[in-house]
Structure 1
Amino acid sequence: MNNIMVLGNIVLIPGYMTDDRLWDDMVEPLQRHGGVLTFAQLDQGESMDDMAERIIKCCPPTFALLGFSMGGYIARKIVQRIPERVTSLILAATSSRADSEQQQRTKASAADAVTPHSYNGLSNVSLGYSLHQDRSRDPALLQRLKGMGQRLGYDVFVRQSRLDRNADTDLLAKIHCPTLIIAAKNDRMRSLQESEELQENIPGAELRVIENCGHMIPLEQPAKFCEEMIGWLNNR
């Protein structure tokens, strides 16, 4: 029983209006199992393609790639560009569907409604919706989420709110690296059906569903997230 798990290089891509602090509760477990972590930044770039190109410049030669929520769209763009360098792919709380017209309008309206002086992070209402219903008013979780939005600032909020999330379901069959889909049972932002569509269309993909969890899996259930991720990567 002397086998030691060495996860190796892992690139982590956060989601909409989240930054490195999204991963705070996952860093120690991943590093303890040999993970060498690269934290992708989404504070620059006018499009998801631009963001993907910027991240590629900071990636190690080969790596496992984790994309959370909006980061899942960008992760798949990276796989399309440099498939020979991505050893495995983990997609969490994400989708291959395009934003609906209503979702686009809501985000554009939110961007129009604030100014550089009035912006103070996302509202507690919108942040609460991203959490399990029972934790939607948890002050500690809300403050962690709001703090990320405040640090990223007004310009990033406007840019990310106006990004086009185009459907890429028709491209999923071209992903040939081992792929794990992680969904949250109580996610009110991304349905389980959307995760099942990813699993069904990516060859050989596996799906894990985390119970008692809303959309923000890295903050709500970091231990379970790490358990699923480390176990799967170790079996690769």
Structure 2
Amino acid sequence: MNFQTFQQRQKRITLDGIIDEPVTVAYTDVGAGEPLVLLHGIPTWSFLFHEIIEPLSQRYRVIAPDLLGYGFSDHRDRFDRSIEVQADMVERFLAELDIPAAHFVAHDIGGGVALILADRSPDLVRTMVLSNSVAYDSWPIDEMLKLGHPRNAKMEPADVKQFLEEAFKVGLSRPDRLTDEFRTGISKPYLQRDGIISLVRNAASLNTNHTTKLTERIKLLKQPTLLLWGVDDRWQPVSTAEQLVKEMPNAKLRAIENCSHWVPQDAPQEFTEAVLGFLDESV
């Protein structure tokens, strides 16, 4: 699905109780069945999942929000974008949709959000697929620390394109998966002035303390969990998954060869098959 079709299909919802005034969240909601929530990372948005939403929606109600400050959700320069606040948003969002429990497929910082929710609201999180997720003190990576400097709010669109292009080459192992459709779709929300500022603020919000405080609680997370990892990833290495699988009581690791950080784009068929197979076993 191309960017225009994907973005036009998104719905909008206004949520209060997160900051001192309502915020707007853009999201996809397709399919029927048990809810399956997809959470993206930085510097992407829910378009990261554009190739896997349709096959997943044949069996599940697939809900893919843009996190606050990302994609086509609220970009205003007046709120925290940390994974703690994103967890607040996801809880409030699902309550507004009248969803008391869901399966979660979460990538990068979205995985950090899922871990927070699994700890503080265990009844909300039925199962988890954590894909090249942040955990422990594995983040923020150097590129994000540099991006988050306030001076970068003055970047021009060409600068953002160059930054993302360099990231694409590292985040994908398979050259044929770096398509013009992916380039355009991921970049589009971050090429206007408000999107550039928002991307920089998103990077500035990354705080390793929000996952290190869970380190001693990882062993208490009993949700069935699949660690679905691209082994070429130098940003979130597979060693993080190996540590998680040792400590989480109901976790298993599925490593994908010739695959880097953005697994849903790099290996969409393997990703989809692994998610559906895991859910078949777990539900």
TM over 0.5: yes
Higher mean C-alpha displacement, 116-125 vs 168-177: 116-125
- C-alpha change, 1:137 and 1:27, in structure 2 (3 Å) is closer
Indicate how the Cα distance of structure 1 residues 199 and 95 shifts in structure 2: closer, same or farther if over 3 A, else same.
farther
Q: How many residue pairs align between the two structures?
A: 228
Aligned to 1:78, the other structure's residue is in SS state: helix
Partner of 1:214: 260
Mind listing any 5+ residue stretches in structure 1 that lack a counterpart?
Answer: 1-5
**Mapping 1:88-103, distance limit 5 Å:** 88-99=127-138, 103=141
Task: Report the CA distance between 1:195 and its aligned residue.
Answer: 0.9
Equivalent in 142, 152, 155 of residue 114 of structure 1: 152
Which residue matches 1:196? Answer: 242
Amino acid corresponding to residue 199 of structure 2 in structure 1: F
Give 1:51's aligned residue: 86
Q: Secondary structure at the match of 2:270?
A: helix
Task: State the secondary structure of the residue aligned to 1:57.
Answer: helix
Q: Report the CA distance shift for 1:117/1:92 in structure 2 as closer, same or farther (over 3 A).
A: closer
When structure 1 is superposed on structure 2, of 161-170 and 218-227 the one drifting more is 161-170
Write the distance in 2 (CA, Å) between the matches of 1:75 and 1:150.
Answer: 28
For residues 133-148 of structure 1, the aligned pairs below 5 Å read 134=175, 139-147=180-188
Counterparts of 1:165 and 1:48, CA distance in 2: 10
Equivalent position SS for 1:235:
helix
CA–CA distance in 1 between the matches of 2:191 and 2:56? 27
Correspondence for 2:197 among 155, 177, 183: 155
Counterpart residue number, 1:40:
65
TM-score using structure 1 length: 0.86
Equivalent-residue separation in structure 2 for 1:202 and 1:52 (angstroms): 20
Kindly tell me: are residues 85 and 110 of structure 1, through their superposed partners in 2, closer, same or farther at Cα, counting changes over 3 Å? closer
Runs of 5+ consecutive residues of structure 2 not aligned to the other structure: 1-31, 70-78
CA contact (8 A) 1:41 1:55 kept: no
Q: CA deviation at 1:161?
A: 0.8
**Is structure 2 residue 226 aligned with structure 1 residue 180?**
yes
Higher RCO structure, 1 or 2 (CA under 8 Å, sep 6+): 1
Is 1:23 matched with 2:65?
no
CA contact (8 A) 2:138 2:240 kept: no
Q: Which position in structure 2 is the counterpart of 1:128? A: 169
